[in-house]
A and B are shown apart, each in its own frame.
Chain A
Amino acid sequence: MALNRIWVYAEATDGTVAPTTLELLTKARELAGTVEAVYGGDASDIAGTLGEYGATKVYATGDLQGSLPGVPVSSALAKLITEGGEAPDLLLFGTTYEGRDVAARLSVALDRPVITNNTDIAVEGDDVVLTEPVFGGTKLVRTKFTTPGPNIALIRPKSFPAEPAGGGPAEVVTIEVPDYGTAKVTNRHVEETTGPKLDEADVVVSGGRGLGEAEKYQMIEELAKLLKGAPGASRAIVDAGWVPYSYQVGQTGKVVKPNVYIAAGISGATQHLVGMKGSKHIIAINKDPEAPIFSVADLGIVGDVHKVLPKLIEALQNR
């Protein structure tokens, strides 16, 4: 299966295209001659950015009228593919809330497999080969499609750099939505955050169960602030309700690749390591010398976070 045409599922918030979309467009340019985007919404204000990163066209549904994108976008894409005659060889989605929903429904509509959680993609001879880390990222499973296109792959955020190609705006092609579905968003809640975003910050400071109690998470926020970074968390303390889910770093949370990652009181379960082991520099503080987090740390302090963190915060405040 040669790759002539790739479609990238685009996501955007308030006219700003998601970094994951730009990463996928950049990679798609390397793999196929024709790169186009698909979008659940009105694409007029993102066509410029999509074009700059290599999409020549964007097939857009127009306003989704408050519907969750799974049903409307997958039904529109299925119709375009089966009746439009412009089927891609491959569709790339980010491993995101929306990406997974649309890809999953589309896989049923087209009766095609979806290969998920990949961190790399390559064309090898006639094969499209995807790479998925398993067992906490210690093993890499490489899988190829055996069905004719269009095939569907989900790629994790931060798998590729995003680089503009300098193209003009993508041509917006409005596509028909056969079914809007009945799942409707009635209200949106945005959690107040200050400082850089978790998955874009240069420094991330994460806390885990080793902090002992929810109140102690303040130390993580304070340290993150001092380093102009973002606070993060392990799944354990998110499940325990200490901090919102949007703070979670790991397999089910955000994938982060900052310059510096500080893990305080985090043992380093597989679930967590998958989300942060791509960081450039890793500092770990944990009282258990056997904690798996030390296997990925460039600097590991075997010690009590309740002693190390206050002193570290004080030392930084005094600078």
Chain B
Amino acid sequence: MNVVVCAKQIPDPAEPGKLEADNTLDRSGKLILDESDSYGVEMALQLVDAAGGGEVTLVSMAPNGETGGLRTALAMGADKAILVSDDALSGAGALDTAKVLAAAIKRAEPDLVLAGTESSDGYTGTVPEQIAALLGVSSITFAKHIEIDGETVKVHRQTEAGYDEVETTLPAVVSVTAGVVEPRYPSFKGIMAAKSKPVEQLTLADLGIDPSTVGAAGAGQEIVSVEDAPEREAGEIIEDDGEGHARIVAFLENLKVI
């Protein structure tokens, strides 16, 4: 079974985020594998293992031919990667991103496409479903459990009230929640092996996509302004001297909550 995993490479969320002059996110520094996608990578490795063979291919879109995050996923055990990198993609919206990823995914001819439910930087949460629509295949979002049964994928899908058992036929796109599996840490052997695994670097021209239809030029949206959000007024911060709980009780009494 062949699985494609959409793997986003993002600025380290632990660092304070910065915007470029055109108000797009500054992605110029080192990029890391989005933790949200590490679950998809792990799930793919387990499913291919359970199927008794196949390949895990990463598909990513990032500026400057960045592969830092992809190497992490390759070190976990993914077999190869396709990276789309093109200056024209700066300012791309969710639909543009989906168009590019869908075109790249087609080349890998997967049985199953896995993605995180949303990225940790843009968190639109629409790209997996858009990819499915563009590929003309079925999709299930918010999976917290996945199993393959012949040509059927069976999923426990997160809902407001609990979860639904949902199934559909392959090929399909499934987005996975954080915590669906425990991502493995790359071993030393894995890290060494990752260095020689193939990363195919593509441009929009390679994918046959007209640059004017994606990226800022084709996004159909334009940032008007970026403003500081109003800050909350500073509160009272006290050290617990053994009576901290009494302050909370008094605070709640004052609000007539108790």
Contacts and interface: CB of A to CB of B under 8 A. Distances in A.
A196 interface: no
A319 B258 contact: yes
A29 interface: no
A139 B95 contact: no
Interface in B48-107: 93-95, 98
Interface in A285-319: 285, 289, 294-304, 307-309, 311-312, 315-316, 319
Given A103-B126, A139-B229, A182-B138, A302 B258 contact: no
B9 interface: no
**Mostly helix, strand, loop or mixed at chain B's interface?**
mixed
Most interface-central of B125, B224, B238 (chain A CB within 10 A): B125
Interface residues on B, range: 35 or more
A97 B161 CA distance: 11
Contact of B161 (A187, A191, A259, A262): A191
Contacts of B232: 277, 282, 295-296, 298
Nearest to B243: A311
B93 A260 contact: no
Contacts of A289: 237, 239
Contacts, number: 256
A73 B255 CA distance: 45
Given A97-B142, A134-B17, A188-B162, A315 B227 contact: no
Nearest to A319: B258
A260 B257 contact: yes
B178 interface: yes
Given A68-B166, A137-B229, A144-B222, A108 B249 contact: no
A188 B157 CA distance: 9
Contacts of A262: 248
* Interface secondary structure of A, over-half rule: mixed
A297 B237 contact: yes
A159 interface: no
A144 B93 CA distance: 12
A139 B172 CA distance: 37
Interface residues of A, number: 95
Contact of A114 (B117, B126, B237, B245): B126
Given A182-B138, A203-B257, A105 B144 contact: no
Contacts of B19: 139
Nearest to B129: A104
B164 A187 contact: yes
B201 interface: no
Nearest to A100: B125
Contacts of B93: 113-115
Contacts of B142: 97
A300 B236 contact: yes
15 contacts: A97-B158, A97-B159, A101-B141, A105-B133, A113-B93, A116-B123, A116-B124, A140-B227, A182-B168, A188-B164, A190-B162, A239-B178, A289-B239, A311-B245, A316-B249
Given A114-B95, A183-B172, 15 more contacts: A70-B141, A71-B138, A95-B125, A104-B130, A116-B94, A139-B227, A154-B126, A281-B251, A282-B235, A285-B244, A294-B235, A298-B236, A303-B244, A308-B248, A312-B245
Interface of A: 13, 68, 70-71, 74, 95-97, 100-101, 103-105, 107-109, 111-117, 127, 129, 133-135, 137-147, 151, 154, 181-191, 202-203, 227, 235, 238-241, 244-246, 251-252, 259-260, 262, 270-271, 277, 281-283, 285, 289, 294-304, 307-309, 311-312, 315-316, 319
